[in-house]
Each structure stands twice: as structure tokens, then as C-alpha cells.
Amino acid sequence: MAGEKQAIIDKLRQDILTWEGFKPAAPGAFNSFGLGPLEAAFPNRVFPTGAIHEFISQRPVETAACGGMIAGILRVLLEKGGICVWVSYTRRIYPPALKRFGITPDRVIFVDVSLQKDVLWVTEEALKCEGVAAVVCETHNLSFMESRRLQLAVEQSQVTGFILRKDVKKENTTACTARWYVRPVRSQLRPGMPGVGMPRWQVQLSKIKNGNPGTWTLEWYQEQFRVVTPYTAPEKFHQYA
């Protein structure tokens, strides 16, 4: 009898994970987003699609880092078909820059609205469209009720949503599946070469439903992410008299 109860509980847990977007990969199916150990932090070791991901940015430089991280994930989503809808009232993404992450700008519909209050309404309507692969929303405020409405929308359509919250001074509770913090990290130059290296980010997953939060340093290299060791500046030589 105890075994039957445990089996029912395990089945219920698996069903809840599936409803939240953590679907186990089908046998033989390639379902990786190339996030390495970061991807393993999610339940079933699967990046959740059909869910809402919340990215927190406190400064413009972090907004740019979040945009790059989201673009890298979008590349994999768009490979399976569909288009992306990018909604904003103060769009900061430069469309040609998406090519750096393997996305042609004509696969993205940019919706620029004049008022911030209209951003979430447009986002919710876009998330209900089953032909859309992903929706990116740049906003400032997101209440728990608003995030719950977005989550209910994707549970029906199975569209993946990315909420990029900019200039956040005070955080609040939301119903999003995961909360991300992305900050730029100094790149590694090739020996003897000037300029800048490949984009690097410190990626923190501070909240994952039924997952394992953590922090990683990732680099964008040959159109995919890879885990790297952060660059440490050599200690300065001090000369004493």
C-alpha cells in the first residue's frame, strides 16, 4: 500500500513538472540548449519551454548582457520554427546585433509601444498565439498577478516567454518559472591580439521551481554557450624602496 501511495505521489510530481514546462526529452530526441551544467540545474535536466523566464537588470550594462543571453537561447528555439515577438516601450536591442547570436532579424517582429502599461497587454496577447516560438518583453514593473496571467497564457499555448525587467530597484515575488541575473564579465583576449574577446557573462539562476539554483560563467563561442573560468587579473607588482 505504501508503494502505491509513493507511486501516485511520484506521478503527480511528474505531471506538475510537465505542466510547468519541464518535459522530459523524448527517447533519442535532441532537446539541449547548449547551456551545459546550467541546463542540468533544471528539473529533468531540461530547459523549460512553454514557461515564463524573468531576467532582472539593475543597470543598462546588465540589460545589454541579458539581451545577449536571451538571444543565444532564442537561436535554439527558432531553429524549431516559428517567429519571435519582441515587445518594448524603450527598446534597446539593436536588430543587426542579433546576427552575432545566429538570429536573422527578419525572424523577429519588433512591437514598440508608446506607453509602458501597454507592454504587458501586448505581451499577453502574443503569448496566446501558438504559431509564435517565443516572446520577449522589456518592461520595468511586473506584479504577481500580472506574472500569473502570463504564466496561464503560456500553459495553454506552450509559447516560451522572456520578461526582461530593466532598472529594477526593488524586487518582488512573481509567478515566473525561473529568475535570472546576467552580468558582463571581462573577456579573454587571444595572445597578441588587440580588441575584445568573445562575450562572457556571469549567469545566476536565483530561483528555479523544483531546481537547483547556482552561478556559472558562460561564453558565447561558435554560436553556442560554453562554461569558462573567469579571468583573474594578475596581481600588481609592488616595488618598495
Render pLDDT for 227-236 as a digit per residue (tens, 0 to 9).
Answer: 887 655 555 5
Give domain limits for the chain: 49-186+198-227
Calculate the alpha carbon distances from 31 to 50, 103, 187, 212 in Å: 14, 19, 29, 19
Determine the average pLDDT of the residues in 173-184: 94
Quick one: pLDDT at residue 28?
Answer: 47
Range 202-216 average pLDDT: 90
Half-sphere exposure of 22 (CA within 13 A, CB side): 19
75-89, 95-109, 164-178, 187-201: range with lowest mean pLDDT: 187-201
Task: Look at residue 134 in the predicted model and tell me its pLDDT.
Answer: 96
Query: Which residues lie below 8 Å from residue 4, measured CB to CB, with a gap of 6+?
Result: none
Polymer length in residues for the chain? 241
Considering the domain 49-186+198-227, what is its CATH architecture?
A: 3-Layer(aba) Sandwich (3.40)
**For the purposes of burial, counting CB atoms within 10 Å of the CB of 202, is it exposed (0-12), middle (13-18) or buried (19 or more)?**
middle
Judged against a pLDDT cut of 80, whether residue 195 lies above it is answered with no
C-alpha span between 19 and 209 (Å, rounded): 12
Separation of CA 162 from chain center: 6
What local confidence, expressed as pLDDT, does residue 234 receive? 53
d(CA 181, CA 174): 15
How does pLDDT run across 33-52, given as a tens digit for each residue?
Answer: 778 788 888 888 888 889 99
Mean pLDDT of the chain: 85
Q: How confident is the model at residue 19 (pLDDT cuts 50, 70, 90)?
A: low
Q: Cα 163 to the chain's mean position, in Å?
A: 8
